[in-house]
Amino acid sequence: MSGVLYFFVILHYCRTLKLKPMEITHNELLNLLTEVNRPSFVYVEFRTIVRMNKTNNQYHDKVYKTTKGNFFVGGEYERRVNMNLIKEGKEPVFVSQSPSGKRHISKCVLTDTKTETKHYLMLEYFKETPPFSVSYDMDGDMIQKQLFESFMVKKSTPTNQDLERTVNVITVTLSNVRVLHIDGSKYEIIPETVEVEQEP
């Protein structure tokens, strides 16, 4: 990430710290995000059930993960990868594929292709950008990742970008989003049932 880009991420975060939050439903969140028509930095908090193998696992379906951080939405994944290829002196020949079982309905929102009833938010994250925090809890108490890490389902990493500095994107189930700061506004989303999804 360039110094200028880093500056704008931090500036966005600082500007939203003092905002008074507005409560919205997930349908209102969906409507808000489908109207995003340009790339933007956002702050997001989301809560998921940690995916784990079930066999002999006392932690299965009991551990929750809360992620908080600054993300980039509305960018074109293929274009972002090819721009990084150019920066690394390589040919911009990357062609993206649609996420398995999902399709875009806007720049940052996807739906499932089978029922078109589930929605997902596509986020790009930068590993070096603070603040990016992750915490785990079980039965209302904080828990250390080391206790259950061996049971966790291994996540995939980009292998076809041919980049030293990969473009990292995740798709978060929309009903798991708890807080969103975007375009100078702060939203708190009325919680629904937490769903299991791929761990970012």
Tens-place pLDDT, residues 62-82: 999 999 999 999 999 999 999
Nearest in space to 5 (alpha carbons), one of 120, 160, 157, 165: 165
Q: Look up residue 29 and give its two tokens.
A: 């969140």
Model pLDDT, residue 191: 82
**pLDDT value of position 112:** 96
**What is the structure's pLDDT at 152?**
96
Residue 155: predicted pLDDT:
77
User: Which residue positions in the chain have pLDDT lower than 70?
Assistant: 1-19, 129-131, 157-159, 193-200
Give the other-Cβ count within 10 Å of 171's Cβ. 18
Taking a C-beta distance cutoff of 8 angstroms, is the pair 165, 98 a contact?
A: no
Phi/psi for 168 (5° steps) reads: -105, 115
The secondary structure of 115-154 as a DSSP string is TS--EEEEEEE-TT-S-EEEEEEETTEE--GGGTGGGBPP
The pLDDT value given to residue 163: 87
Q: Tokens 């998921």: give the residue.
A: 48
2-19 tens-digit pLDDT: 555 555 555 555 555 566
